[in-house]
């Protein structure tokens, strides 16, 4: 059995008067891919952003409950948010490389954490791009602007940028929704390869993608987790009729 990496207990979240999450409980294991599925507006991305405190940046957002990373509550007032975001990286729905070279995109995080030595940075850039399965495609154009390559390559550059600060957890918010099928397949293959070294939590609207790549699946509906189980069991024999209705396309 894998060890628990992230543990979410009785989490409620409000944006102003609107309650977006209701009594969320999740047990996310190390070196597994956990998929969050559910219709638009059900709380998947909101929950994902809680895991590295991105909702801290949202005005009128209030959170109750506990979220533990390796047993430590990340919402404890003494918890270092910068350290949290180094340990828990994020990849967004649309590729968002910085308007600078591929090299500088990858070196950006390590530089902000104090790494200045050119050889060290070169090593990190190469390792991260290899980790994101894009080194062979860009090794001869590291000084080209990252915004000038294809969308699928941009997304893998963003994954490499996240890997460069050596996180333990990778959060992915619909990482392939803006990509063509071939790029999507490359990202899916990459994600399955990365779980050897990282714990991955992925929001997806694509049922087939969740079934293909994830180990566990959590089904969200109207701000609640209806059920969480192994992906195989969830897709073959869900316990709740609402889960079955969503997976089989009766709504959502």
pLDDT tens digits, 18-27 = 999 999 999 9
**Average pLDDT for 109-124:** 95
Residue 121 predicted with pLDDT over 80: yes
- CA-CA distance, 104 to 70, in Å (whole number)? 31
- CA-CA distance, 175 to 36, in Å (whole number)? 12
Residue 162 predicted with pLDDT over 70: yes
Tokens of 57: 């940046």
Strand 61-69 and strand 169-173: pairing? unpaired
Do the beta carbons of residue 165 and residue 195 sit within 8 Å?
no
**Average pLDDT for 233-251:** 93
Return the domain boundaries, the chain: 4-247
Residue 78 predicted with pLDDT over 70: yes
- pLDDT above 70 covers a percentage of the chain that reads 99
Tokens of 43: 């709380």
H helical segments located in the chain: 44-50, 81-87, 102-112, 118-131, 135-138, 151-163, 181-194, 207-213, 231-236, 241-247
Which fold is adopted by the domain 4-247? Rossmann fold (3.40.50)
- CA-CA distance, 131 to 248, in Å (whole number)? 35
């Amino acid at each position: 059995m894998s060890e628990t990496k992230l543990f979410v207990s009785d989490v409620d979240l409000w944006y102003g008067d609107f309650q977006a999450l209701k009594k969320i409980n999740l047990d996310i294991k190390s070196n597994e891919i956990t998929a969050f599925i559910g219709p638009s507006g059900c709380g998947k991305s909101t929950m994902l952003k809680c895991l590295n405190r991105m909702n801290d940046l949202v005005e009128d957002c209030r959170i109750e409950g506990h979220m533990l990373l390796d047993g430590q509550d990340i919402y404890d007032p003494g918890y270092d948010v910068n350290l949290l975001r180094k340990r828990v990286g994020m990849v967004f729905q649309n590729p968002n490389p910085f308007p600078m070279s591929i090299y500088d995109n990858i070196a950006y995080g390590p530089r902000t954490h104090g790494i200045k030595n050119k050889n060290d940075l070169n090593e990190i850039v190469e390792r991260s791009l290899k980790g994101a399965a894009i080194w062979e495609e860009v090794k001869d154009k590291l000084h080209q602007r990252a915004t000038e390559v294809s969308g699928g390559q941009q997304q893998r550059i963003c994954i490499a940028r996240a890997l460069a600060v050596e996180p333990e957890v990778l959060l992915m918010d619909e990482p392939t929704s803006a990509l063509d099928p071939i790029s999507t397949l490359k990202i899916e293959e990459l994600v399955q390869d990365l779980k050897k070294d990282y714990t991955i939590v992925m929001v997806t609207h694509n049922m087939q993608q969740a079934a293909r790549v994830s180990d566990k699946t959590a089904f969200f509906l109207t701000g609640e987790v209806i059920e969480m189980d192994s992906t195989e069991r969830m897709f073959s024999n869900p316990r709740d009729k609402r889960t079955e209705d969503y997976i089989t396309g009766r709504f959502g």
